Structure 1
């Protein structure tokens, strides 16, 4: 049975006739509900029946995903995989500075990659920093609502979270 409250490592067991036939280990931050699925295992004789997927769904239902994706990469494959698990993903407006380039060679390579993909690096990566998009993935319907709230406080919006008097409700 899944624990009632996950603080630190969470162990989710799948039981058949009172016997554990699979387990998932999840670490969740209780403040923001982000987590890492560390391990999924199903006994050999019970594999191929979808039990691993059931364990992953049980684990994923406990967390929201906030993912920074460097501009040169697509989040589409990840969003498609999460959609199969009942998640909806939405991109927050704006870009988010990540880190300085490690070398001129790295910057040149990334500028070439962005240009090849038809993305304009001017004023962003040309200034010596990597930039990313932020994607929110939550149970279907909830991601768009959270992204809407976050768009109001994204870089360049001029709004802080404290100034949002009545943000739209976010379904849990």
Structure 2
């Protein structure tokens, strides 16, 4: 009987193992869910540029002043690169000429921190290359331009305003004309 028990156990074991299904191929991993798509609202359209009411807050016209001696005195030109936007010149007549190349024949309005004045203009050059206003060298507007708090403005109907820095080149031309 001792032999019977191990034989019976082996028979039962072989029966049980024959009923078990063979191992199947490994299952593919479960699909990983993609991260949720974040919907982003499109950027709001840019607001139109608002020009401040006070001219002292307007952006400065790009460029620099350049001073030079000329055969008739001196001049200071403002602009960027080879493009001149404004010129202050001492003429042979001891007058200071404020010139705007390519401008139209409407009056200049000059704004400084202490004074505002409208100046009539005349065609400049032959043929006209712009317009200019002429002031005697001792005109107080010239001192107001040179000593304006950081900047002054040249406005003219039909053209964009020029917001110009009140640098030493401006006063240097005026002093050359007075001397």
Calculate the TM-score normalised by the size of structure 1.
0.18
Instruction: Specify which structure has the higher proportion of helix.
Output: 1
TM-score normalised by structure 2 residue count? 0.17
